[in-house]
Structure 1
């Protein structure tokens, strides 16, 4: 009896999961087609199981080292050699594991050996673990391999701090009220996402980034930096216990939101030209994603009246799901972009060959 009930339950779960997966694949594929320029019959498949298939496999040190030898004149591959296959990041989990172990060791020093001197380290590592691991994932996903580790760290540190400076400047102009309300949450969402957006645009224009994966990486670096420094500040204000909630919440907040904005900036600008103020207001491929991110931030910060912790957790869960869905759309669109650009090169090359043949 128990075995039959168990089999029935597993079949039901399998049926539900299959339906969810198919609907996700169809929706993701349809949206990405509108963002890209590929033919409607050339899908780029993105599946969670396939994307993270390399996480639990063994990898050599040489494989890890090769991930970081990118972004220079001699190590940036040509467009023809850029892979358009589904991305399979894995090293970011090792980064998270290293930081998590470091955090546990510091906590042991605090509680076992009563060493208060490790508290700054706990705050820093705890704030860093999830956002920096996500940044490493987006670094791996950048199939163009045209942004180096040094550039990424500069964007992470300088961009993160600069976005906080811009945020505080905006707060001086638009001071928020202390009470918790949908209006206050909306103002916070607008101010913080606009501040990050300004800095993202600055770095994208400075680095002359032209690819979706570049924009996503630059955005993720700025968002991760913002998250690390903001979380550290919250700990000093609300206590050490805050580091636990902030760390786990980081999986679906600033780094993800900024990565979406970064990809949207690339989608909204003309290729090989800078993103302009006109693009900000006239390109739906940009401002639709930007407005969605503001809504996600607002929904995250909004404490719905007369509700408990259960509703708050549900809000966060929905926010994370939607945010990651948009990330997968960006990845899908990015892979389509690779195929499109490589296809354009082939067409141009063939047309030149035909012209040469005709001349002969």
Structure 2
């Protein structure tokens, strides 16, 4: 009886997986269509292609060009912005440098018994994954209209500010030390709303209007939040915490805040600030915010009587959903570029027609 049940489960699993394989490549694009502005062109995103440049050789000049952006003279016009599939690569070099630095600090601590390496391990360990992800989103911002100075300011000031807002909200709400579903939901709500408020503040301050801009600003604030929170956890629970927190950062605050940042752009009127009315009434924003709160809740929830494998399964599900949502926003961002560039062409054609009519009259 057990073997029949197992075989039946395998058949069902195989059937489901076949359907997923057939439809995944178009699923994110179909969802992104409903977020865009009436652009029916297909935008293909394949993760294997997206990261295809990571293992290729790149020159120093290519790396330098990535950072000379965001100024009046280096921000390209909209018609020159690329709508081709994004292929970030430099973030992997940053991660490699930080990983090597962390390894050398470990040698100082464990080989030479130097306790002076501990602060460096805490900082570099907390920084490695979130900051590398942040640089990935910096590369993905095809508009190149946010400078490295703005990015670092947002990362530091925005990250700390989001922690301050979080602690302020914690004072007003009855947070307990238990890991029940109710408490996990409360923590997820407080932290994600706090980050969302700071993201909205920075997006309005910088007056940005594109999905990729929102994703980048959100990622910067989420990365800052992650770095400072992880450092605090190490001081509270010990140095080993840095290893688990570093790997977990791949699918937590940086990704969640990037999703909210993209949602803020989707939820506001173009070239106008995001308002309190948008916060409570725009479904494009609210759905993504609720999704992020749900992801945070599910991540923090300690299911009663569960094993370590169940907890790892929770984290894996969270990471998959989070990154799938990121691909949807990237897809929607590329669609946005094509739509805006199409509007420029349409407007030019309309202007030419008007001029011809005026001349003929």
Q: What TM-score range do you get, normalising by the shorter chain?
A: over 0.9
Q: Which residue of 2 aligns with 1:250?
A: 249
Q: State TM-score, norm by structure 2.
A: 0.94
Q: Which residue of 1 aligns with 2:349?
A: 350
Q: State TM-score, norm by structure 1.
A: 0.94
1:46-125 pair list within 5 angstroms = 46-125=45-124
1:163 aligns with 2:173: no
Give unpaired runs (5+ residues) of structure 2. Answer: 1-13
Taking the aligned partners of 2:342 and 2:61, their CA distance within structure 1 comes to: 32
1:273-288 pair list within 5 angstroms = 273-288=272-287
Matched positions, count: 346
1:105-184 pair list within 5 angstroms = 105-184=104-183
The two structures, once aligned, show a CA RMSD in angstroms of 1.3
Instruction: Answer with 265-274 or 176-185: which moved more.
Output: 176-185
Q: Which residue of 2 aligns with 1:230?
A: 229
Asked if structure 2 preserves the Cα contact closer than 8 Å seen for 1:189 and 1:294, the reply is: yes
Q: Which residue of 2 aligns with 1:35?
A: 35
State the shift of 1:177 in Å: 1.2
Per-residue CA deviation, residues 139-174 of structure 1 (Å, 9 max, x unaligned), is 000000000000000000000000000000000001
What stretches of structure 1 move > 3 A for 4+ residues in a row?
A: 14-22
Per-residue CA deviation, residues 170-195 of structure 1 (Å, 9 max, x unaligned), is 00001311222000000000000000
Taking the aligned partners of 1:19 and 1:63, their CA distance within structure 2 comes to: 40
Q: Which residue of 2 aligns with 1:291?
A: 290
Taking the aligned partners of 1:78 and 1:27, their CA distance within structure 2 comes to: 31
Asked if structure 1 preserves the Cα contact closer than 8 Å seen for 2:137 and 2:215, the reply is: yes
State the shift of 1:29 in Å: 1.2
Q: Which residue of 2 aligns with 1:339?
A: 338
Asked if structure 2 preserves the Cα contact closer than 8 Å seen for 1:38 and 1:339, the reply is: no
2:34 aligned counterpart, secondary structure = helix
1:116 aligned counterpart, secondary structure = coil
Asked if structure 2 preserves the Cα contact closer than 8 Å seen for 1:268 and 1:286, the reply is: yes
State the shift of 1:19 in Å: 5.2
State the shift of 1:17 in Å: 7.8
Taking the aligned partners of 2:202 and 2:347, their CA distance within structure 1 comes to: 31
2:277 aligned counterpart, secondary structure = helix
Per-residue CA deviation, residues 33-83 of structure 1 (Å, 9 max, x unaligned), is 00001333x111111111001000000000000000000000000000000
